[in-house]
């Protein structure tokens, strides 16, 4: 399809310009008002009696410039979301322009597309062509990305999937390809939490004035330190005086007997001793301005150990108390398939997902996200909440996902569909 198109720059702005050929009503209103943030902002200009589309591109980053740095699974998941948004406004997906030159990214690396009514090509064909462009653009050394593009392209050619099947595929692939990334993220979060705990444990030592019960320890620490600092000051002052005496003595001897090597060594040694003594006095006087911060390392370690033991005991008590409170589960999920096991919701905040990390029950199957759904009690009722899963959940056939419809109150016998798995809710 031949388009009368050009790329121009006006001042600090860049535009993709296409001559308008078709009469628009509804689509023009959507584009002109920038109703969808996932589409390029569009202006309609008349030049020489002819109307043109002016798509502003300068505020975005061209996809071609960042394709080698993007996580492909996440990018294509975002792209499918764009397709759904465009379709929800009754716009034709075939009018989207999918190529590396015409696609852009916002600040969050989400795709921003050009919707061009003058352009028409099957969206599935465009998607396959886009993958081929990505393969050509990615370095052969980046084996993970290249493999993903090849496998996703093969999936599109062989299966000819619909939107839901593509979303399921991308979700499954994420589990297989990015398990290491997830594990590293978990390790980082765990190490960060441990660091925060250590800092919190040392806070009572740093800020002793907030804890009157530690007054005895503070007195114990301050008294010997003041004595040691005082002794150090006296030694430094005596060292300064001796050094000054040595310098004067050896300088006089040099004037009297000449540059004898012993006199030179003595004078240099006295000068060095004077410098060390002056530095010692300076450091001790500086320390004395804030004696409470001058804490013995052994004492700090001992206090931290005691606090850690106390904290551990409290956590153990908390765990015991939690177990007692949750002797009775909040509900059960009875599977429709008799070969599957019953899921006991034995926690207020019970999370089900395909991942073993961060969930209370691992449910494997097609279309199930890593953290898919959460069950909890609210005002005496058992509720379920979609955790921004790819496919959402269905309660008695009604889909539950998105910002406006994320949670629902469950009743005895409600049919809950998670991915392709169906369960009946049973109250306890």
Same domain for 119 and 268, yes or no, is no
Query: Of the candidates 50, 199, 64, which has an alpha carbon nearest to the alpha carbon of residue 130?
Result: 64
In a domain? residue 70 = yes
Same domain for 54 and 158, yes or no, is yes
In this predicted structure, what is the pLDDT of residue 127? Answer: 94
In this predicted structure, what is the pLDDT of residue 334? Answer: 92
Same domain for 275 and 399, yes or no, is no
In this predicted structure, what is the pLDDT of residue 45? Answer: 92
- Which residues 6+ apart lie within 8 Å of 396 measured at CB? 414, 415
Same domain for 342 and 385, yes or no, is yes
Q: Which two tokens stand for residue 119?
A: 């352009």
What long-range pairs does 209-213 form, CB within 8 A, spacing at least 24? none
In a domain? residue 321 = no
Query: Of the candidates 346, 342, 362, which has an alpha carbon nearest to the alpha carbon of residue 354?
Result: 362
Q: What is the pLDDT of residues 277-290, one digit of tens each?
A: 777 777 766 655 54
In whole angstroms, give the CA distance from residue 369 to residue 223: 61
Residues in a beta bridge with 279: none
| Rounded mean pLDDT for each run of 10 residues along the chain, 428 residues in total | 81 88 83 88 90 92 91 92 92 93 92 92 94 87 86 91 89 48 54 58 50 43 62 80 81 74 75 79 62 42 42 38 53 87 86 87 85 88 87 86 76 90 88
Same domain for 154 and 10, yes or no, is yes
Pair 236, 284: CB distance under 8 Å:
yes
Same domain for 216 and 173, yes or no, is no
């Amino acid at each position: 399809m031949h388009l009368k198109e050009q790329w121009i720059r006006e001042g600090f702005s860049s535009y993709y310009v296409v001559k308008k050929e078709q009469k628009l009503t509804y689509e023009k209103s959507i584009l002109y008002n920038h109703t969808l943030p996932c589409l390029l902002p569009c202006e309609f200009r008349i030049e020489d009696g002819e109307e043109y589309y002016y798509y502003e591109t300068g505020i975005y980053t061209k996809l071609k410039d960042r394709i080698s740095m993007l996580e492909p699974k996440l990018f294509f998941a975002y792209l499918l979301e764009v397709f759904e948004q465009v379709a929800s406004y009754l716009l034709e997906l075939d009018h989207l322009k999918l190529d590396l030159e015409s696609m852009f990214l916002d600040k969050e690396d989400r795709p921003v597309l050009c919707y061009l009514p003058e352009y028409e090509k099957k969206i599935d064909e465009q998607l396959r062509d886009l993958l081929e462009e990505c393969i050509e653009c990615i370095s052969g050394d980046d084996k993970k990305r290249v493999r993903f593009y090849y496998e996703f392209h093969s999936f599109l050619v062989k299966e000819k999937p619909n939107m839901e099947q593509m979303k399921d595929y991308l979700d499954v692939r994420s589990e297989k390809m990015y398990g290491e990334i997830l594990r590293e993220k978990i390790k980082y979060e765990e190490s960060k939490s441990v660091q925060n705990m250590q800092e919190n444990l040392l806070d009572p030592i740093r800020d002793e004035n907030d804890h009157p019960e530690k007054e005895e320890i503070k007195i114990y620490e301050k008294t010997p330190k003041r004595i040691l600092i005082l002794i150090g000051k006296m030694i430094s002052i005596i060292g300064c005086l001796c050094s000054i005496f040595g310098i004067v003595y050896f300088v006089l001897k040099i004037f009297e007997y000449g540059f004898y090597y012993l006199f030179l060594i003595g004078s240099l040694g006295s000068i060095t001793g004077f410098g060390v003594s002056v530095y010692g006095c300076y450091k001790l006087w500086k320390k004395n301005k804030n004696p409470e911060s001058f804490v013995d390392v052994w004492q700090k370690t001992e206090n931290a150990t005691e606090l850690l033991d106390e904290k551990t005991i409290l956590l153990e008590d908390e765990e015991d108390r939690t177990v007692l409170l949750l002797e009775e589960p909040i509900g059960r999920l009875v599977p429709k398939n008799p070969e599957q096991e019953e899921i006991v919701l034995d926690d207020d905040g019970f999370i089900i997902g395909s991942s073993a990390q961060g969930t209370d029950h691992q449910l494997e199957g097609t279309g199930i996200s890593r953290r898919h759904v959460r069950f909890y009690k609210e005002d005496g009722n058992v509720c379920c909440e979609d955790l921004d899963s790819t496919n959402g959940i269905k309660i008695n056939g009604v889909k539950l996902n998105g910002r406006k419809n994320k949670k629902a109150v469950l009743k005895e016998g409600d049919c809950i569909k998670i991915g392709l798995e169906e369960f009946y809710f049973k109250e306890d």
